[in-house]
Amino acid sequence: MTKSSTKKAIVWTVTEVKAKVAETSITQVAKEVNVITTGTFEPMESSGAIINLGHTV
């Protein structure tokens, strides 16, 4: 299955990517996936939406 044949984004976690690279290659993985999620989230990343309300004036 290729990325463009499904008309949907292919999203994998870093863990899934590591496993797939071990099975195939980084080149093959790059052909198959659109987005790689890292699962990281910092409390300050979401505070910008609340604190910086005046920046879009």
- Residue 28, pLDDT score: 93
Domains of the chain, by residue range, sit at 1-37
Closest CA to 20 of 11, 12, 29: 29
User: Each residue of 6-53: pLDDT tens digit?
Assistant: 678 888 988 899 999 999 999 999 998 888 887 765 555 555 555 555
CA distance 33 to 24: 13
Q: Where are the alpha helices (DSSP H) in the chain?
A: 3-6, 14-23, 26-32, 43-51
Considering the entire predicted model, what is its pTM? 0.56
Q: What is the pLDDT of residue 22?
A: 95
The confidence score (pLDDT) of residue 10 equals 87
User: In this structure, are residues 4 and 32 in contact, taking their beta carbons and an 8 Å threshold?
Assistant: no
